[in-house]
Amino acid sequence: MNIPLKSAAELDAMRVSCRMAAEVLAAVAAAVAPGVTTGELDLLARRLIEERKARPSFLGYRKYPAAMCISVNDEVIHGIPGRRVVQPGDVVSLDVGVLKDGFHGDCATTVMVGVTDPEVIRLVEVTRRALAAAVAAAAPGARLSDVSHAVQSIAEASGCSVVREFVGHGVGRHLHEDPQVPNYGKPGRGPLLRPGMTLAIEPMVNLGAGGVCVLDDGWTVVTKDGRPSAHFEHTVAVLGEGSEILTLA
Ligand code: CO
């Protein structure tokens, strides 16, 4: 495993790309409403990224055809934006990456559109809390699996399941760098976290069982049992004193 450590100057560059990603994500999240199509949301992201003289990290990555991943209800991640119309009661995961001056920022959030189902509300809040706990666990001296364990223990304590087939990742000059960051694991395993590491931590949590499959489009990941899923993601830097969330707007 080769985990790149970023210099102070590289971290500053990442702060810029990550803030941009967070700004784009916040603007798209604010635009989610009944009647909008996922394709329109993707177009908004493209325009905002272009305005910033930056590039969408996902577009063209392994031939991915859009700037964002937008995953609705039982879709977990990697939903391809298009003609789908957002409906009241939908739970919509939004994921965007921005490449600026050689560095990627990667973040995701899940928004509820007039959701009244208390189970779905609980799912989203649990996933948000799992990300916060994982970020707090990403301190120097901790081990990588402490981050993974934080996600799993919060999700499972609330009767939810983590997705095991997809993981978070290092991020920087490449969208995906070492190490992989699973959302489950025993604590105290894996590489030591050191100042200068930059991680995209991304809990994917299901209301039902953890199992997922990929649709025929080759991208869209859905729950096997058809129950809803939520996804949050921050790019985080491990620093001397703790971790810094880079993807804040
Ligand atoms: Co990511």
Distance (Å, whole) CA 220 – CA 149 = 26
Distance 233 CA to ligand 1 centre (A): 7
Cα distances from 227 to residues 166, 205, 219, in angstroms, run 17, 11, 18
Please, which residues have CB less than 5 A from ligand 1, an ion? 106, 200
* Among 26, 37, 30, 46, CA closest to 98: 46
pLDDT one-digit tens code per residue, 151-200: 999 999 999 999 999 999 999 999 999 999 999 999 999 999 999 999 99
Distance 169 CA to ligand 1 centre (A): 6
Given this model, what pLDDT does residue 219 score? 98
Distance 106 CA to ligand 1 centre (A): 5
pTM of the entire predicted model? 0.98
Distance 95 CA to ligand 1 centre (A): 8
pLDDT one-digit tens code per residue, 192-205: 999 999 999 999 99
